[in-house]
Amino acid sequence: MSKRDLKKYLTALTKEQLEEQLVELYEKFSPVKVYYDFVFNPKEDKLLQEAKVKISHEYFPVKKPNARWRPKAKMRRSVAQKIIKHFISLGVDSFIIADLMLYNIEIAQTYSSNNFIKQELFYKSIFNSFEQAVIFLISSGIFHEFKARVQAIYQETLQQKWKNRYDFEAILDKTEI
């Protein structure tokens, strides 16, 4: 069904029928419920804190009470990417999305500063996150508000002597246009 057909169908419905369909969608489909819950009660700060906790647990997992061992860090970039995509689909403020994107990189750098990581994929993955964050910041028109954090991330790649640190530098050079 095309968008035009959908509009034609919706205009033919009475107000009660339309309300009925929306309630049915709300009850039947979880994404619709999540969307309306956010629209009517957008606790963005709470969402941001919960997201940061999830991301930090990827690098610094919490030992469960009475457990004999501490879980190993999974370092999955996909967890943060899923959360960021979800925030974008909900229409969360771009400053909050940008903060989360940069936090994801910063927490990974904090982990790598204390732990040797031999997988090249980790560094490539963090670079991809950095590139996406810079593109998002520029396209949202908020790069200057986050410029200090972006530069701090780059400086950290230099300090930790990441093999792909010059890729980070190339992205920053493009922003100096």
What are the tens digits of pLDDT across the range 90-147?
A: 889 999 999 999 999 999 999 999 998 989 999 999 999 999 999 999 999 999 999 9
- Residue 177: per-residue pLDDT: 46
- What is the mean pLDDT of the segment spanning 53-64? 90
Sign of CA pseudo-dihedral 29, 31, 34, 40: negative
Mean pLDDT of the chain: 90
Q: What pLDDT does 47 receive?
A: 87
- Is the Cα torsion angle 51, 53, 54, 56 positive or negative in sign? positive
Q: How confident is the model at residue 63 (pLDDT cuts 50, 70, 90)?
A: confident
pTM: 0.81
Which contiguous run of DSSP H or E holds residue 19?
helix 15-28
The Cα–Cα gap between 3 and 75 comes to 40
Is the pLDDT at 150 greater than 60? The verdict is: yes
169 has a pLDDT exceeding 60: yes
Domain locations in the chain as residue ranges? 1-41, 44-175
Percentage of the chain modeled with pLDDT above 70: 99
Q: State which H helix or E strand residue 173 sits in.
A: helix 165-175
pLDDT band of 26, cuts 50, 70, 90: confident
